[in-house]
Amino acid sequence: GRERPSMTQTGTFRQGLARIALLGGLALLAACAPQMRFHGFAPSDSELAQIQVGRDTRDTVSERLGRPGMGGVLEGSDWFWVQSDWRHEHWRPAVEVDRQVVAISFDNANRVANIERFGLRDGQVVPLSRRVTDMGTRPGVLSQVFRVLGQFSPGLADNAR
């Protein structure tokens, strides 16, 4: 009848199966690893260091940092840059792990009056850094910004593409 496979053929076959199983296991493990997604943009501290309070204007800020996205600027108002970092794990809903808001306000002569960076800590808005000449009505404005951004969902951004 038929010839039986030799031990070297059987060993090679088993090694091949073991490699396939190992690669499949690694692929499955990689699929289970948390995925990070980053939405928006907030200038870095080194970029903000180039902006001088009381000296720079809307135009020079725009040249150095670019203008904020459509929701970050209204005619004659402060400018806001927002960045959110989301962690996606398996089948669970995405979790926001960090949010940074950079706010630059301008005086009546369109010169930079305040540069502030805010974040979230335990669900509360907290200042992370601040270079200001006048506090004005900042907390109320930022509370509104964070309230609106709190309604943001990474699924909304994914669907908008």
Q: What is the pLDDT of residue 131?
A: 64
What is the mean predicted confidence (pLDDT) over 26-54?
A: 84
What is the mean predicted confidence (pLDDT) over 10-28?
A: 75
In angstroms, the Cα distances linking 49 to 53, 69, 86, 121, 141 are 10, 21, 27, 24, 23
Lowest mean pLDDT among 10-14, 99-103, 114-118, 131-135: 131-135
Q: What is the pLDDT of residue 112?
A: 94
Residues 113, 56: Cα–Cα separation, whole Å: 9
Q: What is the pLDDT of residue 157?
A: 42
**Which phi-psi region, left, alpha or beta, contains residue 57 (left: φ > 0; alpha: ψ -120 to 50)?**
beta
Write down the residue that tokens 């670019």 correspond to. 66
Work out the mean pLDDT of the chain and round it to a whole number.
Answer: 75
Torsion sign across C-alpha atoms 62, 64, 70, 74: negative
pLDDT tens digit string along 68-82? 876 666 666 889 898
What is the mean predicted confidence (pLDDT) over 78-97?
A: 87
What is the mean predicted confidence (pLDDT) over 152-161?
A: 43
- Asked whether 68 and 79 are in contact (CB, 8 A), the reply is yes
pLDDT tens digit string along 111-152? 999 999 988 775 565 665 666 665 454 445 555 555 555 544
What is the mean predicted confidence (pLDDT) over 25-53?
A: 83
- Asked whether 83 and 40 are in contact (CB, 8 A), the reply is yes
The residue count of the chain comes to: 161
